[in-house]
Chain A
Amino acid sequence: MKKNTLNWRFDVNTFRLIGRDLITDRITAIFELVKNSYDANAQKVEVKLFDVVPNLLHSKIIIKDDGLGMSLDDIQNKWMVVGTASKRQTSMSSPAPYNRKYVGEKGIGRFAVDKLGGNVVIRTKKEGEKQWLNVELNWENYEKLAEQQELTLFTDVENAYFFEDAENENEHGTELIITKIRETWTESSLQRLSKELTKIVSPLHPLNPPFHICLYANEFEKQFDGKTPLVADIIDFYSHKAEIKYHIDKENPENSYQEVLSFDTVKKIIYTTKKTIQLFGGISMQLFYFNLEAKAKFNKYYSSVGDTRIDGIKIYRDGVVTTPFAEMEEHRERKKDILGIDKRLRRDTFTRISIGDILGMVYITKEQNPQITDATGRQDFKDTKQYRELKEFIIEQLYAFEQVKLFERSEKSNIVSTNLEKGKENFENFENQVKNLEKEINKLKPELKPALVSLKQEIKETKEVYKKGVDLINEERKEFVRKESMYLSLLSTQMYSVQVAHAMRTKIGSVKDMADFFSRRYPDEKFEAKFKEYAKLIHTELQELQHVTDFMLSYAKADMKDIKEFNIKKTIEELLNKTYEIPFGDSGITPIIEMKDCVISGHKQFFKDIFQQLISNSMKALENIKDKKIRCSGYAEKDGYVILFSDNGYGIAPGKEDRIFDMFYTTTAEQGGAGIGLWVAKNRIAALEGTIQVVENEFKPTGATFKITIPFNRK
């Protein structure tokens, strides 16, 4: 029996779906077409723009290469077959010595043409063929058909072709002649195109055989003469540079390694260490960091040359760039930063590196990193685990530069402080010297005395002004520290509120229901027992709620300068048993307190802040744990009091024990972690002249233990 079947058809609109609508900007479009030339073994690609500014009456864009070219069969059975896998079947382009790994993959790059113009003629010839094949794709025709009521199929549209005799049989290549250009170009967009095209091939790893791109624009012949291949600028003026490589040893895999960057806080330099090859495969990287001075030099030099920017990290696969470059400013923030470097910036102050501070090249290969593949729109990579880890890895390498930035800033600050103090000294010396001079002059040339008097007066006044200036700077510094302190306290309150809010809602709801029961049913002998039960419960719930409000009030009343004696054990008991009673109850956390009594003098609020942060951290770590525990133990030693704070949560990743105290370092962003908690804790502990560190976890198999030491004798 014959089966009934149905076939897929494609509406003529398809051409737009995979052309204009899929490729998001025209620079990407040109880029895709140039990549096709690369895949076709071209050594030279000419991108020519005619009359594209300011109107488009006679405009034309031509992309011409000297690659392999195509036969009628190639056009019919490969180029005009959507989604052709022919490139994907073999992983290299043929023949040698090119051995170019294919960079265009999904078989839709050819539709990029539609983004540029409404009509394209493909003129192509293979070596040895006697004729040039010309195929005309009139997209406007497709548009007209799309507008009609009746269904027209994409596959039914006819595209004319014809042959023309070739003068030289040995010529080969493909030329795309695009007319009916959609948008005007400006001088700056051409400059942008030029800059972006220079980045196709890594400036530091030129290809052999070469791949030259020439840009010509008839309206700006001087700038874009089409003769000299576009060359990326040498990376210059940077302040710091670092490089990492990887090594694969197939015979002895244990010898394989991936280099990573670290910052030596003692020697104050960036150095590399070896790690195992990561999930995403081996990668190499070059990073150039521009501090403020370097940036100034860079901008000064390049402002005269044109549009050049320090604009973050690019990923090159098999020597050719893969990451996006977008059109002008409006896309810059969104599209350029696919690694999310600046996303972190939003929550930051001064130490984070933004994409305006670094130039970087990451080199991946299809062989080593097969899981890093393009997403269909070509503006990002597919969201796989390997890609996510790669992003994190790249950002981790930036961390070393952040340390540099931090170090330089504090150095600078110290130098300035020293110089300022020195300045005061200099004035004193100056005054003394003038006094001595005065003595001499009085002896030898008394008539100069009046001049000296006014000079002395001026020096005195200047010295006063200078001193006031220095005092003002010091005042402002103190003010900054004070504000920062307040800010941190506010953050603590906010964090606490968030934790408590949900649990409070449950309590208030149940108190409300019980009160409602009273109002509906009272009096009624039948429910005597219930009334008693509810009355008790209402009382207990409200008492717990009171602890919460008390805690929040304590913040409102706290005076930053409030130093007094307080009992450590009692403070922690209050915190764990009362203040946190509701959220602990809600989450099922059991607090265990084993502390020896001790009274110290200090800032009680700071002390509470510390433990609040630790508790908040622990609560997040305990979220998916069954039998949740928080344990706090403490005892006095000779010089100070030691507190061990532990939870049986998922613990701290090995190697991260120091980083967790950095501002904005968080592994719990999804749970609302801002990365501030432990930084606050550390800060507060430092204010108490104590220390905090991660020690071996008390709870096994997973957990975290912090050891806090607070000295008895403090300055």
Chain B
Amino acid sequence: MNVPIQIIIIDDKPLALNTFITELEIVYGENSVQIFNDSKIGLDYIFDNLTKKMIVILDYDLSQNKYDEDKTGLDVLKKIREKTSLLTVIICTTKPLNEIPPLDLVAFINNHIFTFIDKFGDETMGKVEIVEKAVLFMNKQIDTVLEEWILRRTATEREIPHMKTKSGKTYSLNDLLFEIRNQTPLGIELQTNMLNITIDSLTRDKEQLND
């Protein structure tokens, strides 16, 4: 089952992305794209929906942003990264890369953006392709894979206490997904353990890979 994907766009002047948004909706569904010209509202939406499968596209130049504090997409990106390192973020810019201040470029790398979209340079379908690549990338992330696996369980199965910590707190599958998506200490530990187990099982019995 394919989990529906949400594409969040934060841009103070989204007019230039008109056709791009239309094409995204053709590919991912009618209500798959959410546009915000106020970065605060956009961020609130993102943080309220961290458990959902999301790709975020941030405009670099937010000089006409309704929310003053965020002047560029980098400001918004930093706020996202404070909460989670898992969200796939693309930066959309009208400036050629060599006109972006080098320090900002460094910050983009350090904050793990997926890539850039050139508002004017990339054709509409080129932009869509970039988003498709981002989705593919996202699908390989552990939280995404886990989510799809969980969603194949029944609703009841998802609520059963699945794990118990030393302190006695129990977690269902849904809870675990929440922990990972929000990158809590438990979530991070769980992620690492899962990866270790997976690698371990890969190198042992091949039969164990069957699902």
A residues touching B (Cβ–Cβ < 8 Å)? 505-506, 509-510, 513-514, 516-517, 520, 527, 530, 534, 537, 586-588, 626
Report yes or no: A509 in contact with B18, Cβ–Cβ below 8 A: no
- A510-B15 in contact given A505-B120, A588-B64, A626-B68 (Cβ < 8 Å): yes
Q: With contacts A505-B94, A513-B124 known, what are 5 further pairs, Cβ within 8 A? A: A506-B120, A509-B120, A517-B22, A520-B125, A534-B18
Listed by A's residue number, 17 A-B pairs whose Cβ atoms lie within 8 Å are A505-B94, A506-B94, A506-B120, A510-B15, A510-B16, A510-B18, A510-B19, A513-B16, A514-B18, A516-B19, A516-B123, A517-B124, A527-B22, A534-B19, A537-B18, A586-B13, A626-B68
Bound complex: CA A520 to CA B26 (Å): 13
B171 on the A face (CB < 8 A): no
Q: What distance in Å separates the Cβ of B32 from its nearest Cβ neighbour in chain A?
A: 16
Chain B residues near A509: list those with CB within 8 A: 16, 119-120
Report yes or no: A530 in contact with B22, Cβ–Cβ below 8 A: yes
Chain A residue at minimal CB-CB distance from B64: A588
In B12-49, the 8 Å CB interface with A consists of: 13, 15-16, 18-20, 22-23
Bound complex: CA A505 to CA B95 (Å): 11
Report yes or no: B18 in contact with A513, Cβ–Cβ below 8 A: yes
Report yes or no: A506 in contact with B13, Cβ–Cβ below 8 A: yes
Chain B residues near A505: list those with CB within 8 A: 94, 120
Bound complex: CA A534 to CA B16 (Å): 12
Chain A residues near B20: list those with CB within 8 A: 513
Nearest 5 CB-CB pairings of A with B? A509-B120, A513-B19, A517-B19, A510-B16, A588-B64
Bound complex: CA A305 to CA B23 (Å): 81
Return the CB mask of B56-73 against A: 1 if under 8 Å, else 0. Answer: 000000001000100000
Chain B residues near A513: list those with CB within 8 A: 16, 18-20, 123-124
Residue with the greatest number of chain A CB neighbours at <10 A, chosen from B20, B22, B64: B22
Chain A residue at minimal CB-CB distance from B120: A509
Chain A residues near B125: list those with CB within 8 A: 520
Chain B residue at minimal CB-CB distance from A516: B124
Bound complex: CA A517 to CA B127 (Å): 13
Chain A residues near B124: list those with CB within 8 A: 513, 516-517
Chain B residues near A514: list those with CB within 8 A: 18-19
Bound complex: CA A588 to CA B94 (Å): 17
Chain A residues near B94: list those with CB within 8 A: 505-506
Chain B residues near A517: list those with CB within 8 A: 19, 22-23, 124
Residue with the greatest number of chain B CB neighbours at <10 A, chosen from A505, A517, A586, A588: A517
Bound complex: CA A226 to CA B140 (Å): 83
Chain A residue at minimal CB-CB distance from B25: A530
Bound complex: CA A517 to CA B23 (Å): 9
Bound complex: CA A159 to CA B64 (Å): 66
Residue with the greatest number of chain B CB neighbours at <10 A, chosen from A505, A510, A514, A587: A510
Chain A residue at minimal CB-CB distance from B20: A513
Bound complex: CA A514 to CA B23 (Å): 11
Chain B residues near A530: list those with CB within 8 A: 22
Chain B residue at minimal CB-CB distance from A527: B22
Q: What distance in Å separates the Cβ of A514 from its nearest Cβ neighbour in chain B?
A: 6
Report yes or no: B68 in contact with A506, Cβ–Cβ below 8 A: no
Residue with the greatest number of chain B CB neighbours at <10 A, chosen from A506, A513, A516, A537: A513
